[in-house]
Structure formats: structure tokens, C-alpha cells
Structure 1
């Protein structure tokens, strides 16, 4: 297929992919049964390869990566650390993940830029909206680190904010499961999956799609969210081609929501 025909067949041309930090971390646990922390190079390379598949189709890709595989600000605050300080440490964790992802992507031949909400010139560019847009237009993958640069706001909210700022057509939230359920499918085999969901129902039901601030931002700016499982090979590419994967959260009449898988 010619490049122009391939591009014309895509559902989305500019995306923002949100990854939790756990996606980059070790999948096994310690001898004591506790989750291991850190960065797993194998997991990073696998994700980088999935992103390259869609980039090769002509999709402009921006990314926001959490830091939960290294540090959780909320947990540290609950243990007595000042919340703002704990959140700033978490922002630095996202920079570490972003640099690891940049390295993996560039080894695959992708041209990338890491931009941070907290300035650190030796390792990354500061986030400048116009510069980020220009990078995307030139075919560079832009990895947006350090959240929004503000404590008390999650990386989900940062992802929604950056997606809106960069005029992304969709916010893709990668999770461990293949969509949004009315209960935890890992614990409840009878949990119902939603094929589509309205912003308001996601908020009112307290579903763990993203935090409420992030969903509200998307709702106010009519930015659709697709929640999907990045562990399924080719899932990201399938979404770009218009196939139904995961759960679509968008402007939807209440009378037609709640469809089951």
C-alpha cells in the first residue's frame, strides 16, 4: 500500500499514549512476595517496538509515562512524607523512565525528544508546546516527562493536559486489562466490560479509568479516551486502523451506554 493510502486508512493521525510506570517495571516479585521496583529493559524494548509499528504507519506519537515502578508519591505521603515533596520525587522517577524509553526507541531507529515540565537542560528539553508540535510534525516521538510540573496532579491528568495542548485526536491509556470493567476482572470473573462509555458515567460510577480531573479535562475538551491492554501484541496498531479494542470513553448518549463485551 502506498504511503498516502496507508495514512488515509488510519483512524488517528496524532495520538498521546499514556503508560503507567508499572508497564516498564519487572513483572516478577521478590522472594518476600513484594513487587520489584526498577526498569526492565526487556519490557521497555517491547513497548518501544509496539510504538514503532504505529509510527511506521505515519502516526504522530507523543507519550506520557508514569513513575510507579520506581516511586509512588501517594504512598510516601501516607507514610509521613510531605505530599508536595513526595510528588516532586515522583516527577523525577518519570524522567528516568522517559530516558530509558528514549534509549530503547532510538536503538530501533526512531528519532525522539524528551521534554520535561521541570527544566533539566543536561538531559532533556523543557516542555514548549510549539516546539513539541513541531517535533511531531517532523516525525519525532515526543516523550513528555515530569508530569505537569505541579504536585497534587497525577500523570493521568498531565497526559490529558498535554494531549489537549498538542491537539491529539485521542488519549490512549494502556493498562493491564483490555478495557474498562464495572469491577476488577482480576478478582471477579463476572465483571462486565464496557465497549463504550460516556465521560459522565465513568465519573459517576467511580470507575478506575483515569482520575476524575483527567476525565473532566477530556470531557470539557471532547477528547476521546481509549483504555486498552498494551500487552496484547498489535493492539495499538489495530486501534490506529480503526479496529475495536478496549473501551472507548467519549461523548455518548446515556441511552446507549453500558454495552457489554
Structure 2
């Protein structure tokens, strides 16, 4: 078995990643697929934390447009992330992967409260930790929660699993001429308003020199290959160097 390139990673998944081809909610087949992909990486001996969005159930921005107060809409979105976290936990434990859900909003009957030291201890004991309820505060996205939690637990990298194979100059689904970037800097992302993560999350990563890898989670084994050091997707770094230590995909 090849040695993992990363020791501790944070995987960011959107809520939409769990609904598959459905227009709403959770698709059990897709959740099981995500659990299988995480298990492949887990079996390499890497420590894995996960942050999931809630957009498949509730989108605060759309609710706000319909007249719901922003803070209330955001709290409702946090509850949606807890539902997704519990669904992923169930799928992972069916795969015999020991898992803990920690919530930024206290709900002891469903999840542990978020405690940084406890989360790190779970990771050290070989448990996958799923962080739910964002940061626990309105006006912050789950992207920002992912950046914050990754920094707090000392993750080596954020891996953002999406439906496209990297970062593009514009939406590749709508624009066939969109340019894909293999490597770019945080400032490139900010200056060009690239839709990687929100500006707060990008700034947090930049200030703490935390790499971000954007990749297609729908392609089997991509997560495992990245952890083994293969160059897949796009990576965001503090500065672009000729040699990042990442191998070309075979």
C-alpha cells in the first residue's frame, strides 16, 4: 500500500452532493456511495473530518428572498446540515467505519457538542468526525465552517468535493470555453471572484496557509488518489511553485 501524502484532512461536501440526481432531499444510493469513497480513504490510515452543507434541504439565501429573516433562515440551514450529517454517519457505520457527529448547536440526543480537543482525540483514535451545524452562527457559510474546523484540528488540507473536476474561470456546465486551473493562489481566487469558497473561507485559509483542493467527488477513487498524492482537480496555495510534491495522475 502506498503511503498517504496527507495525515489529516477535512473533506467539505455540499448538501447537494447527497441528493444525487434528485431535485431535493437525500438519495440513499448517493449517500452510500459517499460513505464508500470515504471508507477507501479511511482504510489508508488517514485521519478524516467532514463538513456537510444543507442546501439539498434548505437554502438560507432563497428563504431570505421569500421574506424570512436572515438569521432565522441561517439557523434553519444549520439544522439541515445536522440531518445530512446523521445520514452520512449512518451510511459510514454500515460500512463499519467508526464515526462521531459533533454539532456547533447543542443537541445532545443526536450529536456531541463541538469540542476541539475531543474532536482531535476522536481523529487520533481512528474515528471519522462529521462537523454539523456550521459554525453555530448565522451569516457564516459551511465553507467558512470547513475552513475554521480544518484550522482548529490542524488539518493538512481542505478537500472540497464537487460535481466538476476542478476550478474554472466560469461555470463549465454553462460555458464550454471555460478555462480550468490546475494550480492557483488564494489571491488569484479573490481577485478573479472564482467560485471556490466564499471570501471569508478563502481569507482564513490564506492567513493560515491551508491548501484547498477542489475535485470531482462523483468520480470513484478520486478522494483516495488525492490522499495518496496524485494530482487531481485544482489546488489553491499561498504561492505557486514548480514542485508542490504532488504527483501527476497516471
- TM-score (structure 1 length as normaliser): 0.91
The question of 1:64 aligning with 2:51 is answered yes
Unaligned runs of 5+ in 1: 29-35, 257-261
The question of 1:13 aligning with 2:7 is answered yes
Does structure 2 retain, via aligned residues, the 8 Å contact 1:70–1:93?
Answer: yes
What's the offset of the Cα at 1:10?
A: 1.3
Number of the residue aligned with 2:117: 130
Number of the residue aligned with 1:112: 99
2:78 pairs with one of 75, 80, 91: 91
Number of the residue aligned with 1:239: 226
Does structure 1 retain, via aligned residues, the 8 Å contact 2:184–2:240?
Answer: no
The question of 1:173 aligning with 2:160 is answered yes
Does structure 2 retain, via aligned residues, the 8 Å contact 1:26–1:38?
Answer: no
The alignment yields a C-alpha RMSD, in angstroms, of: 1.4
1:149 pairs with one of 136, 148, 173: 136
Does structure 2 retain, via aligned residues, the 8 Å contact 1:115–1:145?
Answer: yes
Number of the residue aligned with 1:33: none
The question of 1:228 aligning with 2:215 is answered yes
Once residues 176 and 205 of structure 1 are traced to their aligned partners in structure 2, the CA distance between those partners, rounded to angstroms, is 21
Three-state SS of the structure 1 residue aligned to 2:45 is coil
- Larger gyration radius, structure 1 or structure 2: 1
Number of the residue aligned with 2:246: none
Once residues 157 and 132 of structure 2 are traced to their aligned partners in structure 1, the CA distance between those partners, rounded to angstroms, is 19
What's the offset of the Cα at 1:26?
A: 4.0
Number of the residue aligned with 1:48: 35
Once residues 33 and 4 of structure 2 are traced to their aligned partners in structure 1, the CA distance between those partners, rounded to angstroms, is 23
Three-state SS of the structure 2 residue aligned to 1:96 is helix
The question of 1:27 aligning with 2:21 is answered yes
Does structure 2 retain, via aligned residues, the 8 Å contact 1:198–1:254?
Answer: no
Change in 2 beyond 3 A, CA 1:255/1:25: same
Please list every run of at least 4 consecutive aligned residues from structure 1 whose deviation after the TM superposition is greater than 4 angstroms: 253-256
Does structure 2 retain, via aligned residues, the 8 Å contact 1:18–1:159?
Answer: yes
Give the total of aligned pairs: 243
The question of 1:82 aligning with 2:69 is answered yes
Three-state SS of the structure 1 residue aligned to 2:158 is strand
- TM-score (structure 2 length as normaliser): 0.95
Does structure 1 retain, via aligned residues, the 8 Å contact 2:6–2:46?
Answer: yes
What's the offset of the Cα at 1:245?
A: 0.4
What's the offset of the Cα at 1:188?
A: 1.1
The question of 1:38 aligning with 2:25 is answered yes
Does structure 1 retain, via aligned residues, the 8 Å contact 2:52–2:131?
Answer: yes
Number of the residue aligned with 2:191: 204
Give runs of aligned pairs for residues 156-195 of structure 1, distance below 5 A.
156-195=143-182
